Amino acid sequence: ATVRRFKWEVGYIYASPDCEEKLVMAINGQFPGPTIRAKAGDTIHLQLKNTLHTEGVVIHWHGIRQHGTPWADGTASISQCAINPEESFLYRFKVDKAGTYFYHGHYGMQRAAGLYGSLIVDVSDGEEEPFQYDGEFNLLLSDWYHTSIYDQMVGLSSRPMKWIGEPQSLLINGRGQTNCSLAASLVPGSSACELTSKDCEPVVLKVLPNKTYRLRIASATSLASLNLAIGNHSMTVVEADGNYVEPFTVDDMDIYSGESYSVLVTTNQKTSSNYWISVGVRGRKPNTQSALAIINYPPNAPSKLPESSPPATPLWNDYARSKSFTYRILARQGAPKPPPNADKRIALLNTQNKMDGYTKWAINNVSLALPATPYLGSMRYHLKNAFDTKIPPESFPSDYDVMRPAKNQNTTQSTNAYVFQFNSTIDVILQNANAIAENVSEIHPWHLHGHDFWVLGYGDGRFQEKDVSTFNLKNPPLRNTVVIFPYGWTALRFIADNPGVWAFHCHIEPHLHMGMGVVFAEGVENVRNVPTEAITCGMTGKMLINNHLP
């Protein structure tokens, strides 16, 4: 294991991710940001300088558990103070588990401004992956809007709310084309793209015939749920969120914001053609052209268009199909098993609400507000009045009808946090429900910081006590992100064994902005060595000035 050192600067650049020039939040002038590549057990030392002109920044290492370094989790108001313009912060953390991860901004909606990149952890020296491949490619998927995140954030928190709408394009490794198709000559009715910038040229994967490739795929989308398919080639799923899964083969796969996968693809098709990789929208009525990339077999020129049209994305509202894909994800044999019982169970109802005419998302009727002083500091140093210390609700009314709009749509807002007994086993039932409008219930991918959890099961309608007997304790997959389907529930179990304060939230950026998240804390008294730079703001900042550091 070694220490890998990085020096990064975050700042806006002009770029044309989908052939239209916009401001993009970049790292060292690159969009997406540089890929971090390390080996399991390595330590990352990453000096992040903020060169934005007028706002703070933080970066979250999505899927890295931050054992012993909760202050490096990169969540503004939770694990650290935002880094001010012209200031630097040293992220220091261990990447302890091989897998496909990514990183992204976690302050306001900076992820949607383009602040993301890949983080890939290889097995440590002498270890082997439990599957074989000859080469690999990395595909970081995202969606892209032409309105600035400032416009988006103000709209979402206006009264009445201005919704951001569907993205203008989907990007593969930061490249896409807006409102046109690379496959226009093969797809009747679509208009041809004019590639006006190098930034929007399609991604080409150069392969050799009869080899097996590992495709690492992660989704950093702001809103879109995606489906990925490769013309003529099937895919064998082997990894999800940095955990091995029991291999299964599919023709297309869903991927929700915050998820990552590895699939194996064998290049066993005829070599006289190139093939499309197609990425389209699921779960919302799409208004965005699919993103396309090219698998290039020699001796074809990379620019030669595949012979057939790109694989069609399954119908956006074919939820049965999405469920059947998701339900197939199970732990690989030999993976860690969950404890047989939980010490505590909480149920979290997801609803869309109103608060004085503002539209919010709420959990058990509490919409998340973030405090000025990061929890990690205020909890660790027992500061009074830094956040609402009332215990948040651990369930919701037993007569709540999840199939209908709420009778009372009002919600409150709070900074309160769930505090768990250190090392206890927690079950969380995520319960979906009808939104404000009749007959609307959306997909929400929930992401937990600081832990992986076992996904014990899913169901339709309201979770009932008897559903506990259907929990999969035999081979539940370990994940850090899991989806709740419309009107359904998802059950997960984790061990609260990581001292710190951790966000648990819907990974859809506008939903989180509208309060769709909660804060978990455990063992905070055991947290050691919080660098003062992480807490030099708010009430912990004052504490430091008064030199009261215990």
Question: How far does the chain reach from its first CA to its final CA, in angstroms?
Answer: 33
**106 contacts which partner out of Cu ion, ligand C2O, none, CB within 5 to 8 A by kind?**
ligand C2O
Q: Between residue 293 and residue 332, which ones bind ligand C2O under the rule CB under 6 A? A: none
CA distances from 115 to 129, 187, 500 (A): 30, 33, 25
Instruction: State the Cα angle at 143 between 142 and 148, rounded to 5°.
Output: 120
Q: Between residue 96 and residue 125, which ones bind ligand C2O under the rule CB under 6 A? A: 104, 106
Complete edge-to-edge strand list for the sheet that includes strand 478-479: 412-414, 366-368, 358-363, 344-355, 425-431, 488-495, 453-460, 478-479
Residue from 94, 332, 449, 513 in contact with ligand C2O (CB under 6 A): 449
**447 contacts which partner out of Cu ion, ligand C2O, none, CB within 5 to 8 A by kind?**
ligand C2O
Nearer to ligand C2O, 104 or 462 (CB): 104
60 binds ligand C2O per the rule CB under 6 A:
yes
Residue 323 parent element (H or E): helix 319-327
444 binds ligand C2O per the rule CB under 6 A:
no
Shortest separation between residue 520's beta carbon and ligand C2O, angstroms = 12
**332 contacts which partner out of ligand C2O, Cu ion, none, CB within 5 to 8 A by kind?**
none
65-93: string of b/e by CB count within 10 Å (b at 16+)?
A: bbebbbbbbbbbbbbbbbbebeeebebbb
Cα–Cα distance for residue pair 170/311, rounded to 1 Å: 16
Shortest separation between residue 443's beta carbon and Cu ion, angstroms = 7
Shortest separation between residue 252's beta carbon and ligand C2O, angstroms = 24
DSSP 142: E
223 binds ligand C2O per the rule CB under 6 A:
no
φ, ψ for residue 478, nearest 5 deg? -90, 135
Q: Between residue 480 and residue 539, which ones bind ligand C2O under the rule CB under 6 A? A: 503, 505, 507
Residue from 447, 451, 462, 511 in contact with ligand C2O (CB under 6 A): 447
Number of residues lying near ligand C2O (CB under 6 A): 10
Nearer to ligand C2O, 277 or 348 (CB): 348
All residues at 6 or more sequence positions from 439 whose CB lies less than 8 Å from its CB, including other chains: none
Nearer to Cu ion, 428 or 508 (CB): 508
All residues at 6 or more sequence positions from 198 whose CB lies less than 8 Å from its CB, including other chains: none
Single-letter amino acid code for the residue at 70: P
**493 contacts which partner out of Cu ion, ligand C2O, none, CB within 5 to 8 A by kind?**
none
Whether the bond between 299 and the residue before it is cis, its omega within 30 degrees of 0, is: yes
**450 contacts which partner out of Cu ion, ligand C2O, none, CB within 5 to 8 A by kind?**
none
The residue with its CB nearest to ligand C2O is: 62
Nearer to ligand C2O, 505 or 511 (CB): 505
Task: Tokens 């608060």: give the residue.
Answer: 355
**62 contacts which partner out of Cu ion, ligand C2O, none, CB within 5 to 8 A by kind?**
ligand C2O
Cα–Cα distance for residue pair 518/415, rounded to 1 Å: 9
Number of residues lying near Cu ion (CB under 5 A): 4
Residue from 282, 493, 511, 513 in contact with Cu ion (CB under 5 A): 511
419 touches 387 (CB < 8 A): no
Nearer to ligand C2O, 450 or 476 (CB): 450
Q: How many CB atoms lie within 10 A of CB 107?
A: 21
Shortest separation between residue 444's beta carbon and Cu ion, angstroms = 3
Nearer to ligand C2O, 99 or 311 (CB): 99
All residues at 6 or more sequence positions from 454 whose CB lies less than 8 Å from its CB, including other chains: 331, 338, 476, 477, 478, 492, 493, 494
Give the chain's radius of gyration (CA, Å). Answer: 23
**506 contacts which partner out of ligand C2O, Cu ion, none, CB within 5 to 8 A by kind?**
Cu ion
Residue from 332, 360, 380, 444 in contact with Cu ion (CB under 5 A): 444
Q: How many CB atoms lie within 10 A of CB 128?
A: 7
Cα–Cα distance for residue pair 535/540, rounded to 1 Å: 6
**519 contacts which partner out of Cu ion, ligand C2O, none, CB within 5 to 8 A by kind?**
none
Residue of 3, 8, 16 lying closest to 105 (CA atoms): 8
Nearer to ligand C2O, 22 or 60 (CB): 60
Nearer to ligand C2O, 106 or 451 (CB): 106
Residue from 99, 117, 242, 258 in contact with ligand C2O (CB under 6 A): 258
26 touches 33 (CB < 8 A): yes
Residue from 121, 182, 506, 537 in contact with Cu ion (CB under 5 A): 506
All residues at 6 or more sequence positions from 263 whose CB lies less than 8 Å from its CB, including other chains: 214, 215, 217, 235, 236, 237, 238, 253
CA distances from 477 to 62, 140, 328 (A): 18, 22, 10
**444 contacts which partner out of Cu ion, ligand C2O, none, CB within 5 to 8 A by kind?**
Cu ion
Shortest separation between residue 511's beta carbon and ligand C2O, angstroms = 12
Shortest separation between residue 447's beta carbon and Cu ion, angstroms = 10
Cα–Cα distance for residue pair 189/191, rounded to 1 Å: 7
**462 contacts which partner out of ligand C2O, Cu ion, none, CB within 5 to 8 A by kind?**
none
**342 contacts which partner out of Cu ion, ligand C2O, none, CB within 5 to 8 A by kind?**
none
Query: Binding residues for Cu ion, per CB under 5 A?
Result: 444, 506, 508, 511
Query: Binding residues for ligand C2O, per CB under 6 A?
Result: 60, 62, 104, 106, 258, 447, 449, 503, 505, 507
